[in-house]
Amino acid sequence: MKKVLIPIANGFEEIEAVSLIDVLRRAGISVVVAGVNESSVKGANEITIQTDILISEVSVTEFDMVVLPGGWGGTDILASDEKVQTILKEMNSQKKPIGAICAAPYALDVAGVLKDNFTCYPSAEEKISKTGYSFDKMVVRDGNIITSRGPGTSICFGLQIVKDLVGDETYNALKSGLLADYCR
């Protein structure tokens, strides 16, 4: 069973985080939600979710992938938290897949793991040092780095991760089951 780490911090975007957790768990992936600083984390729209562990308890070798939800409040914390940044660098040095959506590709850029071709929430690219920003794709992959745009693309982003980690059959079944035929 694949195991994915989703770190969340106060100010995270709730649709993005919850869509990723939900879609990946539906695919049978073991998703561990790790709170940065707190075990109960409040999103940008005042929704508080309970995390599974604290980021300080994370052992990076256990995980096959790490994915960051967006929201600027949460992203700024993910970009400055030492443990999160170390996890990103270690996963990248092991060529493990790393994902980020919305503002969160900025946290990958700060860690030095973002690659040239990426997408993000419109205007977040202005804070990012890489120049290959795409505005016309829901999901962009460059090597082990996969990025997406915002709340409206988060189910599609989760599905693409499912396709990569689990396979086409589960991807197709879930896309149909989620009624997300607009994901391309």
Should residue 50 be labelled a site residue for a second copy when binding is judged by CB under 8 A? Answer: yes
Q: Please tell me whether residue 126 binds a second copy under the rule CB under 8 A.
A: no
Q: Is 178 in the site for a second copy (CB under 8 A)?
A: yes
Give the CA radius of gyration of the chain: 15
Tell me how far, at minimum, the Cβ of 6 lies from a second copy, in Å: 11
Check residue 184 and report its DSSP letter.
-
Q: Measuring CA to CA, how many Å separate 132 from each of 21, 29, 119, 120, 140?
A: 28, 30, 8, 11, 10
Among 45, 56, 80, 86, binds a second copy (CB under 8 A): 45
Residue 39 engages a second copy in binding (rule: CB under 8 A): no
How far apart are CB 158 and a second copy at their closest, in Å? Answer: 9
Catalytic residue flag (residue 102): yes
Looking up tokens 């879930």 gives: 174
Choosing from 1, 46, 61, 169, the residue that interacts with a second copy (CB under 8 A) is 46
Ranges assigned E (strand) in 11-170: 30-35, 40-42, 48-50, 53-54, 65-68, 98-101, 117-118, 132-133, 139-142, 145-148
Helix (H) or strand (E) holding 92: helix 82-93
48 touches a second copy by CB under 8 A: yes
Q: Does 127 contact a second copy by CB under 8 A?
A: no
Alpha-carbon distance of 76 to 80, in angstroms, equals 6
Q: Which residues bind a second copy (CB under 8 A)?
A: 13-15, 18-19, 21-23, 25-26, 33, 40, 43, 45-50, 121-122, 149-153, 155, 177-182
